[in-house]
Structure 1
Amino acid sequence: MHQKKTTQFLKSFCLCFLLLAIGCQETTKKEEPVKSDTTKTSNNILLQEWEGPYGGIPAFDKMKLADIIPAMRQGMKSQLEEIDIITSNKELPSFENTIIPYEKAGSELNRVQTYYSILSSNLSSPEFREIQGKLAPELSDFYSKISQNSLLFERIKTVFEEAQKKPLEADKQRLLQLIYTNFAMNGAELNNDKKARYAAINKELSSLYTTFSNNVLADEENYITYLSKDQLGGLSESMIKAAAKIASDNGKEGAYAITNTRSSMSPFLTYSTEREIREKVWKNYYSRGDNGDTFDNKEIIKKILTLRKERVQLLGFDNYAAWRLQNRMAKTPENAMELMNAVWPAAIARVKEEVHDMQNVADTNGDNLKIAPWDYRYYAEKVRKKKYDLDSDEVKQYLQLNKLTQALFYVAGELFNYDFTPVPEGSVPVFHEDVKVWDVTDRSTKAHIGLWYLDPFARPGKRSGAWATTYRSHTTFDGKKTVLASNNSNFVKPAPGEPVLVSWDDATTFFHEFGHALHFFSSNVKYPTLNSGVRDYTEFQSQLLERWLSTDNVINKFLVHHKTGEPIPGHLVNKIKKAATFNQGFATTEYLASALMDMKLHLADPSNIDITTFEKETLKELKMPKELVMRHRTPHFGHVFSGEGYATAYYGYMWADVLTSDAAEAFGEAPGGFYDKELASKLVTHLFSPRNAVDPAEAYKQFRGRDATIEALMKDRGFPIPKK
């Protein structure tokens, strides 16, 4: 999952789990200044320009909670003053006197929000969550004063309309289109009464998103499953040691702990022989936000859906999905649904086959049970062994995090010509001792590209999952800015002296998120807004990079046994490749069910919706197999309800995967395979470097010579190709 910190409104898309940069009210009279804090801000570290090497770096080691509110308020005040300068300009609007200063505005706030995003996603605490609650409505009001500023919009509109008659350079034209469209989509042309309601809706939504996210985090922190020594059946030595450390860290010396996160839950369900405890761990995880207590999210979801629909109706749209998808690759909900419905029947049919195989194994073992959701991973692993003689835990012994990191660097060097060099310890401030930093340079010119931060381990206050983000993006319009990018994971921290061993799925995710980082590093855009993403395209680059994990170069060079140092044997590699489409029913169905639910929720009438009933009835209509559950059940679907980045856009992973499979097919056919230099150059030139400076559909055509088709996707998953 790709994540960017929220910066100036419309200059970057707010992705899941961060603040939503949403448009609200503006009047033509001069606004009252943003509330100031009595605390002095002149010496506030969060506001200060970044100093030091590498083009300046954030002072993560000096950030304090007490500085957040005064810094945020000062940052908002400064940006509004910069906007006032633009709107008070008496000269005719032009690209130079309107768009350029708009792109420059908000540098102070941008710096503050870098720190804020770290605290929100990586170091959240009860004290920080209280601050979040205070700031959410203030930030919403602030964004209102920009997105609904009629004087600003009129200047932008004038420049945009003039450029339709006399087109500018391609990147300037694209920039104007994105800025104008986003203002229009967020109510810039509404009358004052509708703007007022639009603002009120956004203010309420901003608080609801914060509450939703914090409720999920609370349920992750509050539900830890403790085990005794006689309940460890099936778990590997490394898992047991890690579980002991987690329990010890939580004051339960002598016990073993499974945390309520995917990285802890999934391997436990795969290997534990304790069915009753598997059920408990499964229910803890999939009931996040759905426990009927203080942290229950169902009523919050209903309010969010109701407010979203009312807001887009102010703009003349029937439903939220139609509004949201107008500037995505899919364009309409119908197009997105067509893709999902084309894949869904094959996915659930494959699940039926998988369950049949698992039930046979259970029956043969005399286990006397019917496969339930908490059994799926456990028996799927047994089927994998039976069908392919492939033991996931055996593979895991060759998947060391440090070696996989080196594999990432190898691929980046071969495809992008980048070198990654560890920075001297202590030379770059970090926000936690687990974070490591590398200097990224061009292999040919030795030019500095940026810094890569890696934050690999789970901890209290860190949201679950894996993501990528930027602390600074590449631009050149106001002096060249180098990239500060971060990858964040939730691997279980091992016992001291033990290696970090990960599953093949987790290794794939590691490559995926690094794909986002490479997308950041390879940017060659001039203007900040052009670093923004198109939601059903932005996952494509990262999903494509996953494919390099299974290339012979990576397997042969970096998959070595953590104890013996021996390379992974050829017979095991062959088993991995033969089992490539194994369990695709589960993987596709659990994802696609969430994507379909996201779309259907936003197409439904939310006025009398009961979330539990809607989820249940929708899954019944879809004929969802009872043996598994959605990857993200509605009450904890943070992609969709912690912000708006993936709302009606979770389908985008599938849309992007169509492009991924098609592009991977091109590499498979190239003379040099996945390391073909000519094709790699085209990949970087057309699909990574332009970011959003080129329409994604056109960019893909420039790379492939044609549009992508669904056939390669179906082949990759081992599904029958739909008849046309």
Structure 2
Amino acid sequence: MNTNTNPLLANFETFQDTAPFSLIKEAHYESAFEKAIEEARKEINAITENSAQPNFENTIEALDASGELLGRISSIFFNLNSAETNDEIQRIAREVSPKLSEFGNDVTLNEELFARVKAVYENRATLDLTEEQKTLLEKQYKRFSRNGANLNEDKKKRLREIDSELSQLTLAFGENVLAATNAYELHLEDDSRLSGLPESAKEAAAETAKAKNKEGYVFTLDYPSYIPFMTYADDRELREELSKAFGAKAYKDDYDNQENVLKIAQLRYERAQLLGYETHAHFVLEERMAKTPETVNNFSQEILEKAKPAAQREFDELQEFARNYADNPVESLKKWDAAYYSEKLKQKLYSLDDELLKPYFKLENVINGVFEIASRLYGLSFEETQEIQKYHPDVLTYVVKNEDNSLNSIFYADFFPRKGKRNGAWMTSFKNQWHDNGHNIRPHVSNVCNFTKPTATKPSLLTFNEVTTLFHEFGHALHGMLADTKYRSLSGTSVFWDFVELPSQVLENWCYEKEALEIFARHYETDEVIPLEYIEKIKAAANFQEGLQTLRQLSFGMMDMSWHGIDPTAITDVKAHERKTFDQTDLYPDVESSCMSTSFAHIFQGGYSAGYYSYKWAEVLDADAFELFQENGIFDRPTAKKFRDNVLSRGGTEDPMLLYTRFRGSEPKIDALLKRAGLVA
């Protein structure tokens, strides 16, 4: 292909330099990656061949500025591989990933480049650097040392082999999970077994069936289909079938990930050992707030001790309720009963269920609500525009402005499931923020979720859980939008992983506040504001089964550490290994055909290996941080300014504990979380 006609390699002649999706074809990617890697190599060579003595500007800043084209192409391609993939894009990902891994290694194992970085690093005490510059210098030095720059040639060679193999294995893992998810469907030709299911779930299943040219109803393992079925379907046999299919994804099926799990864990361990670390977790946690596996394990055990007695009480209460439930009594609870009876008990205790609340959470209203909250806190305004090209018709595009009407950012929102989109919800970006020759380059930020699509008769109505998900991801988006750092590699969400969830989780708190709910929780047909009694019930129900929820989340973090905080080379049975962790936390009987590790994409495909604990860690931060908003008023601008100036805008420019303490006045305490969760009086 003539690279002159490749839109990925040209200047984007588009509104605010946004990605020209209408021009980009799959055939453009491979040649674009090839050219961009070549360009990035030239930029690295320019640094190493510079005859001047290495200094901060000609080495550290030059290195930070290198690879801009490659970064731009990578962000577009890999964002689409998550949100709008197909067989060809997945093939390209398999081809390109090892090449990117190899290039990354070529940089971090480049001895001349490392010698220059090391010279500046060893001379750092004599340099007059800002805090941000000191952080950048340390980050770059560690980027080399943590990637083998101090190793001998044989070990460097082995490190390259490991990284190449890991990039392939993690991709294969993700493809297997997606394929296993798509391979299953529960097809029912009539509604005779659908009692209990809300009309919206039936309507969505009917539309899925229609899209697949089938009669009746089709339910899938995608969350918007799976969760309502497990929560409301009276048919226990079908709940069991669906639950077992969900639990067995990529386990002993055509897409079995057991071998991938074992290899990934073993290679990560070998890599850590090569670099002089005891385990993969020791390697990862050096660059986290927690610092060591011991801190994480102690943190998990401390919360486990508080949560387990509460969880046992809640489980016993649910078991008793299920035994005496008039319509569908069961003697012994199984995993496929959990959501169903929990929902029934919740309704009994609070007369509150998703179907009662959903009419008040029309997607468009929730979007406008989160925009209004961002406006009141940070002075942002959001204007939908058709000037920005989209990678799929479902995507919404916005221009975000500051109070002085200057450009803040570009925002993409992609809310509905489809075949080429992975499950879950995430924030990403197509372009970072940084400063360039006096210009503040503004970011292009994206939220991707999987909410129920509008049907012929109803708009997209969210469950309350989906409302908190939207706020969570938008909290990450604000972290990207409000970034204001000099260097792109320190910008926005480029922070320690156990700090990155603070902006997202803290924003969820507004979903429980009357003052915030009244902005956007309006009935989609009558425009009536959500009744005060519902708001009070939402708050009361917020701690419903909090012990069980805490135990569940802890179990995921503990399992992550069980793979990554030890020498895993002796593990041969994936299921048996994960049971050792789950035996500490599970109150439900094990399902023999289920295995979580084989579909645990967060830790085996995403970036959460040895980091899943950070969700609970960030809950401590967010409960502690939100206490200050509660004391001063949830829309108090001075408090919001403090949070923006010390947390949201600063990215990874300083140690996060320093940034947090500057905002809060002290280090975070676990008490606020335990109190909020109702785990202590």
Q: Same fold (TM over 0.5)?
A: yes
Q: How does 1:14-53 map to 2 (within 5 A)?
A: 39-53=1-15
Residue type matched to 1:258 in 2?
F
Q: Secondary structure at the match of 1:182?
A: helix
Aligned position for 1:379: 341
User: How big is the shift at 1:274?
Assistant: 1.1
* Aligned mate of 2:394, from 428, 431, 434: 434
C-alpha distance in structure 1 between counterparts of 2:525 and 2:104, whole Å = 54
Report if aligned partners of 2:272, 2:279 keep a CA contact under 8 Å in 1: yes
Question: Does residue 205 of the first structure (1) align with residue 169 of the second (2)?
Answer: no
In 2: Cα distance, 1:474 partner to 1:306 partner: 36
Q: 1:450 aligns with which of 409, 430, 435?
A: 409
Instruction: Return the match for 2:574 from 593, 611, 625.
Output: 611
Could you state the TM-score of these two structures normalised by the residue count of structure 1?
A: 0.91
Structure 2 counterpart of 1:575, from 516, 529, 537: 537
Preserved contact between residue 231 and residue 339 of structure 2 (Cα < 8 Å) = yes
**Aligned-partner Cα distance in 1 for 2:100–2:330:** 56
1:581–1:717: 8 Å Cα contact kept in structure 2? yes
Specify the alignment match of 2:665 in structure 1: 705
Partners of 2:612 and 2:410 lie apart in 1 by 29
8 Å CA contact retained: 2:14, 2:20: no
Provide the residue aligned with 1:546 in structure 2: 508
1:648 to 582, 599, 610: 610
SS in structure 2 of the partner of residue 438 of structure 1: strand
Residue 497 of structure 1: how far off its partner (Å):
4.5
1:474 touches 1:525 (CA, 8 Å); kept in 2? Answer: yes
- 1:38-77 alignment runs, 5 A limit: 39-54=1-16, 56-77=17-38
> Is 2:293 the partner of 1:330?
no
* Structure 2 partner of 1:461: 420
Query: 1:162 aligned to 2:111?
Result: no
- Superposition RMSD on alpha carbons, in Å? 1.7
- The change in CA–CA distance for 1:498 and 1:389 in structure 2 (over 3 A counts) is closer
Q: Is the 8 A contact 2:514 2:535 kept in 1?
A: no
TM-superposed CA distance for 1:114, in Å, is 2.4
Work out whether residues 594 and 633 of structure 1, in 8 Å CA contact, stay in contact via their aligned partners in 2: no
Identity of aligned residues (%): 35
CA–CA distance in structure 1, aligned partners of residues 124 and 276 of structure 2? 26
Deviations 1:584-640 (A, max 9, x none): 1232122111100000111233222121110122322x1421268999921111111
Match of 2:322 in 1: 362
Q: In the alignment, is the contact (CA less than 8 A) between 2:475 and 2:505 conserved in 1?
A: yes
Q: Which has the higher contact order (CA 8 A, sep 6+)?
A: 1
How far, CA to CA, are the matches of 2:9 and 2:457 in structure 1?
Answer: 40
Q: Which moved more, 1:104-113 or 1:142-151?
A: 104-113
Aligned to 2:382, what secondary structure does the other structure show? strand
- 1:313 is matched with 273
Q: CA deviation at 1:295?
A: 1.0
Instruction: Describe the superposition over 1:265-293 as per-residue Cα deviations: whole angstroms up to 9, x where unpaired.
Output: 11211111111111111112121121x13
Is the partner of 1:158 in helix, strand or coil?
A: helix
Find the aligned partners of 2:469 and 2:310 in 1 and give their Cα distance: 23
In the aligned structure 1, how far is the partner of 2:569 from the partner of 2:64?
39
Structure 1 outlier segments of 4+, above 3 Å: 627-632
Q: How do residues 592-671 of structure 1 correspond to structure 2 at under 5 angstroms?
A: 592-609=554-571, 610-620=573-583, 622-626=584-588, 633-643=596-606, 645-670=607-632
Closer, same or farther: CA 389–294 of 1 in aligned 2, 3 Å: closer
Deviations 1:128-155 (A, max 9, x none): 2222222222222111111111111111
Report the CA distance between 1:657 and its aligned residue: 1.0
Q: What are the equivalent positions in structure 2 for 1:127-146 lying under 5 Å apart? A: 127-146=88-107
**C-alpha displacement at 1:195, in angstroms?**
0.4
CA distance, structure 2, for counterparts of residue 84 and residue 699 of structure 1: 36
Q: Counterpart in 1 of 2:305?
A: 345
CA contact (8 A) 2:376 2:635 kept: yes
In the TM superposition, residue 64 of structure 1 has moved relative to its aligned partner by 1.3
Question: What letter is aligned with 1:659?
Answer: L
Secondary structure in structure 2 of the residue aligned to 1:640: helix
SS of alignment partner, residue 476 of structure 1:
strand
Structure 1 equivalent of residue 67 of structure 2 = 106
Using the alignment, how far apart are the partners of 2:482 and 2:76 within structure 1?
24
**What one-letter code is carried by the residue in structure 2 that aligns with 1:689?**
S
Hey, what's the Cα distance between the residues in 2 that align with 1:616 and 1:701?
Answer: 39
Question: How far apart, in 2, do the equivalents of 1:577 and 1:301 lie?
Answer: 40
The 5-angstrom pairing of residues 105-504 of structure 1 reads 105-227=66-188, 228-252=190-214, 254-290=215-251, 292-366=252-326, 367-423=329-385, 425=386, 427-443=387-403, 445-478=404-437, 479-504=439-464
Q: What letter corresponds to residue 678 of structure 1 in structure 2?
A: P
Tell me, in whole angstroms, the C-alpha distance in 1 between the residues paired with 2:102 and 2:646.
38
Structure 1: 5+ residue runs without aligned partners?
1-38
Q: Which amino acid aligns with 2:455?
A: A
| 1:197-233, Cα deviation, whole Å (9 max, x unpaired) | 1101111111001100100010111112122311221
Q: Which amino acid is the alignment partner of residue 415 of structure 1?
A: L
Tell me if structure 2 keeps the 8 A contact 1:556–1:568: yes
Deviates further, 234-243 or 334-343: 234-243
Give 5+ residue unaligned stretches, structure 2: none
CA offsets per residue over residues 286-319 of structure 1, 9 Å max, x none? Answer: 21121x1331111111111111111111111111
Instruction: Say yes or no: does 1:530 pair with 2:493.
Output: no
Of 521-530 and 237-246, the range deviating more from structure 2: 237-246
Contact (CA 8 Å) 2:315, 2:548: kept in 1 or not? no
Q: Whole-Å Cα distance in 1 between the matches of residues 377 and 489 of structure 2?
A: 26
The CA distance in 1 between the partners of 2:256 and 2:373, in whole Å, is 43
Moved more, 584-593 or 331-340: 584-593
With over 3 angstroms needed to count, the CA separation of the structure-2 counterparts of 1:464 and 1:383, relative to structure 1, is same
User: Structure 1 counterpart of 2:375, which letter?
Assistant: G
